[in-house]
Amino acid sequence: MDNRSLTAQGIRPAGCVHWNLVSPELIQQAVRRDEGMLADMGPFVAVTSPHTGRSPNDKFVTMDPDVAQDVWWGKVNQPVSPENFGVLLADVQAYLNGSSDLFVQDLWAGADPAHRLSVRFVSPNAWHMQFVRNMFLRPTSADLPGFMANFTVLHAPEMQADPKRHGTRTSTFIVLSFAKRTILIGGTRYAGELKKSIFTVMNYLMPKQNVLSMHCSANVGEQGDTALFFGLSGTGKTTLSADPHRFLVGDDEHGWSDDGIFNFEGGCYAKAINLSADGEPEIYRTTQMFGTVLENVVLNPQTRQVDFADQSITENTRVSYPMHYIKRHVAGGRAGHPKNVIFLTADAFGVLPPIAALSREQAMYYFLSGYTAKVAGTERGVKEPQATFSACFGAVFLVWHPSRYAEMLGKLLERHDARVWLVNTGWTGGAYGVGSRMKLGHTRAMIRAALSGELTGVATTTDPVFGLSVPNSIRDVPVNLLSPRTTWADPKAYDAQARTLAEMFAKNFEQFAEGVNSAVRSAGPRV
C-alpha cells in the first residue's frame, strides 16, 4: 500500500492533500488561508474561541469488548457504543473528504524507540498541523517512506456532532477507539485536544508494557541527576522544569521504564499569561521565534506585539514550541532514573508548607490525592478557593484505575531510592485574596536545595495538621516562610483553614481507602 495514501483511514479526499509539510510551508499555508496571523518576531497566532480550553466532559472512550474490562469508567472515561463510534467515524470521514485541503503529519509519541507510538494526524487546518509538528517527535525524511501509523487522529474542528445520532453530550467530541486505533476530534479548535488525546492513548498502552505513564515534567542536572515535577495546570510544572541551571527533558508527559525516563513529546505547551523575559526567560524567548504557535493571545493591532497580560480572550493563553527552542534541553528526550520526585500544588488556601519531604506512604497518599486549588475570580461564581483533587496529578487523562499508576510509582520509587517532595507554589500569609503568591525565586531556591542534596540532614519540624517534615532553614529563603502558620496575621484563622483543607483531603481519599494499606491511609492530614 502506498504510504502516502489515506485509504487505510477510510478517506478518499476530493481536494488537495499536503503531506508532511515542514514548518515554513505550514505557516505559509495557514496565513494564506486566513487561519490566523503572524505576530511581531514571527510566531503564528490563532484564536480558538469559543473553546479556549479542553472539554473534558465531551471526551468518550468506545466500549470495545477487548478493553472494556480495563477502563476506569465514569466521569473521566465516558462510554460510547461501537455502533455510535462507527456512525461518527463515517460522518467525520465524509466531512474530511469534502474539504478543499487536507494536511497530514506523520509523527511519533515516545522518545524511546522501544515504546514509540506512530501517529498520523489528518486535519483541514494547516496551523493545527504546525501545532502537532511542534508538540510531537518528527521523523527524518529517511524515516517517512516506511512510516506506518499505529494510531490515527481525524481532526474536524468545524464539524458539529449530533448528540442523538452520535451518542455525544454536545456538538463537541473527543472520542477514542482502541479497537479501531482511531481518535475523532471535532466541534472545537482548541489545539490542546490533539496533544492530550495522544497522552490518553499512552496512558493506556504504556502500563501494558510495564512503563509508568506520568503527567510530569523532567530535567537533568550538571551531574546527570534526573528530577520529575508532577502537577496540574497552573502549579508551575513547565516554569520550574525550564531551569537555566539544568537541562530540560520535557515539560508535561513522560514514561518511566526499566531503562529510565523518556519524553512522550518533542515540544512544550506552556501557559503564556503574564509571561515575561525577566520571570521566565527561557520560555519567553520562544515567543520571539518563527515556528512557535501562540493560542488566544491579544496583539497590538498596530505593532503586532503580544500583550501577555491581556486575558480578554481567556486566562488560558498558550505557547507551543519545539523542544530545541529551549537552549538547555536533552537531545533525544531520555534520561536516567530520577533521584528526586516533586509534587507541585498551588494551595490557594495558604496553609500547606512551601516545601516538605514525604515518606513513601505519604508519597502514595498525595499522589492519589493530586491536590491543587482554583482561585476566586478565575470562574464566574467562584468567591472562595476551591479544592481540586485529580488522582495522579492528571485524572482526566487516565484510562486505568488510578491505583494501577500509584502501585507502579510506589515500586519505582522504592527500587530506585528516589526522594519525594511536596512543594506549594500557591499562597502564603493567608488564602487567595488576603495572602500573596509564593515568589518564584524562593520556590526555585527551595527546589535547588532539595535537588542538590543540601536538605539532607537539615533539622525538620513536623507539621501538626498535615504530618509533613518541613526543613527549618533553607539558603536564600526567609525562615518564617517555611512555617505557614507564622505567616498568617491571625493564627486561629490559619488553624480553621488548615482543618477545613484536611477534612477535604480525608473526604476525597475515601474512594481509594479500600485499595491501599493502613500505612498509606494513615499518611494523610490529621483531621
**Residue recorded with cell 484505575:** 401
318 flagged as catalytic: yes
439 flagged as catalytic: no
The one catalytic residue among 54, 115, 337, 485: 54
The one catalytic residue among 23, 152, 238, 241: 238
Q: Nearest CA to 75 among 65, 61, 89? A: 61
416 flagged as catalytic: no
The one catalytic residue among 58, 225, 251, 252: 252
Distance CA 88, CA 82 (A): 10
Which residues, 6 or more positions from 259, have their beta carbon under 8 angstroms from its beta carbon? 112, 114, 334
Compute the C-alpha angle 211/213/216, nearest 5°. Answer: 135
DSSP string of 115-182, one letter each residue:
G-EEEEEEES-HHHHHHHHHHSBPPPTTTGGG---SEEEEEETT----HHHH--SSS-EEEEETTTTE
The one catalytic residue among 200, 233, 388, 425: 233
499 flagged as catalytic: no
The one catalytic residue among 128, 318, 334, 337: 318
Spatial contact of 42 and 325, defined as CB atoms under 8 Å apart = no
215 flagged as catalytic: yes
The one catalytic residue among 196, 246, 337, 419: 196
Neighbouring-strand partners of residue 96: none
C-alpha separations of 245 from 219, 269, 341, 448, 493 in Å: 10, 21, 18, 9, 39
360 flagged as catalytic: no
* Dihedral over alpha carbons 394, 397, 402, 404 (to 10 degrees): -120
The one catalytic residue among 195, 215, 329, 444: 215
DSSP string of 434-483, one letter each residue:
TSEEPPHHHHHHHHHHHHHTTTTT--EEE-TTT--EEES--TTS-GGGGS
Range list of β-strands (E), 143-297: 151-156, 173-177, 182-186, 212-220, 226-230, 247-250, 253-257, 260-263, 267-271, 293-295
The one catalytic residue among 133, 155, 237, 337: 237
Active site residues per annotation: 54, 196, 215, 233, 237-238, 252, 318
